[in-house]
Amino acid sequence: MIRKETLAVQGNILHFLSEDEMIFIPNGVLYIENGKIIKIGTAKEILPRLKSSVLIKKYTDRLILPGFIDGHVHAVQTNAIASYGKRLLEWLEMYVFPLETKFENQDFARQNIRFFLSQLLKNGTTTAAVFPSRHPQATSILFEEANVLNMRLLSGKTSMDRNAPPSLCDKTEHSYSENEQLLLAIDEKYRTNYILTPRFAITSSEKQLEALSDLKKKYPNTAVQTHVSENREEVDAVKKLFPKAKNYLDVYDSFGFLGKGSLMAHAIYLEEEEWKRLAETQTSIVHCPSSNLFLGSGLFNLQKCREYAIPLALGSDVGAGTSFSMLKTAADAYKVAALQKMEFTAKYAFYLLTLGGAKALKQEAFIGNFEIGKEADFLVLNPMATDLMKARLSETNSIEEILFVLMMLGDERNLEAVYLQGKRVLF
């Protein structure tokens, strides 16, 4: 008989069943078997029914939440973070492309990828949609290191064959074969998922996009992640490169890249027809407020996104984003909304960081909340980790206010523990 790995975690539990239904259980318990949620309820309900052999981990006065989800981040740009903010295209040419070239060296790639993944976990991110470099070996290393940590990851080699340094350009004829080899190498016993990753329309020829389109037709459950309408110069460049396209999004649509689980980062300068098409196809947007502010790209129209009921996640977008913390990313999203006189509540923010993000990434069957049978990826947060937070929270017991203070003042100092499938991660 195989012995079950069991754990009970006690604390103030918070998760979402939907955008409108937040569940808060003061002094609650999660009971976990073999990395899955088996029971959730009050300590009074669950503790008396547990076997004496079950380890009970108590986190008094702490919040226990599902692990955070980062919908858009670059594994190869960590060392470009806080590089003086040119506009997007200049910034890529000056800082990012030279750095990404170095990932051809596998020792360099492994060292940097390990650091990148540790930074995600240290900030409470347990699932991420990740852009690697264009090098197949570096992409394999990313999957290997994520598997060692047992992280849930969506990634695929960044495809680009023009308008970049020659050392970063694919041979167009290899676009299909390299991606297929990496896709087929994914081991289903791990939690890594392959996602086709054309960098953006500017750096892919029509032939490369056709190759990726053919691959998606062969593997229809494979989604696509890319960038769209991040800044005005980029939009203008795409119009010149693809004169037959109705708009920027139509470039991707014409190759069959839209659909549930596909991720379009930024989406700042969309035309009305593009909003409609995203809604029709239920293609997800990833809002990257920190990088949009840092590069001066523009302000995302959250209200329009919500009116069209388009799936939404938040993305740190490191390295143009200036923090791995999804709490800080949410704080920036609040400020971007406030600048446009739009509402962005803490309740909605934490929904996006958990279940909303899981739905946008098409991972809600596995993660995002504490429904029975889901993977036990969760965080333990101390809302009073700093003197300032203690002072502010001395004035309230409201969970909504506690969440707002965490969003506006929180960072990695609030993170007390991270668990992946019921096992604590040490870093």
List pLDDT tens digits, range 346-371. 999 999 999 999 999 999 999 999 99
Rounded to an integer, what distance in angstroms lies between the CA atom of residue 84 and that of residue 89? 13
Rounded average pLDDT over 15-30: 98
Instruction: Check residue 86 and give its pLDDT.
Output: 78
Contact 39, 54 (CB under 8 A): no
Rounded to an integer, what distance in angstroms lies between the CA atom of residue 322 and that of residue 103? 21
Class of domain 6-67+369-424: mainly beta
Higher pLDDT, 254 or 189: 254
- Under the banding of pLDDT at 50, 70 and 90, the label for residue 1 is very low
Does pTM top 0.85 for this prediction? yes
For the chain, the 3-state helix, strand and coil shares in percent, each to the nearest 5, are: 40, 25, 35
Enter the tokens of residue 386: 């700093």
Amino acid at 238: V
- Give CATH 2.30.40.10 domain extents, the chain: 6-67+369-424
- Give CATH 3.20.20.140 domain extents, the chain: 68-360
Confidence check: pLDDT of 85 > 80? no
Amino acid at 13: I
Confidence check: pLDDT of 416 > 90? yes
DSSP label of 389? H
Contact 314, 328 (CB under 8 A): no
The CA-atom distances, in angstroms, between 202 and each of 67, 161, 163, 208, 315 are 34, 9, 7, 12, 21
The residue written with tokens 């996009």 in the block is 209
Confidence check: pLDDT of 110 > 50? yes
- Under the banding of pLDDT at 50, 70 and 90, the label for residue 89 is confident
Instruction: Check residue 4 and give its pLDDT.
Output: 79
Closest-CA residue to 62 (of 426, 425, 418, 416): 416
- 68-360 CATH choice from 3.20.20.140, 1.10.260.40, 3.10.310.30, 2.60.40.2470: 3.20.20.140
Rounded to an integer, what distance in angstroms lies between the CA atom of residue 377 and that of residue 420? 4
Instruction: Check residue 2 and give its pLDDT.
Output: 55
Closest-CA residue to 191 (of 358, 57, 4): 358
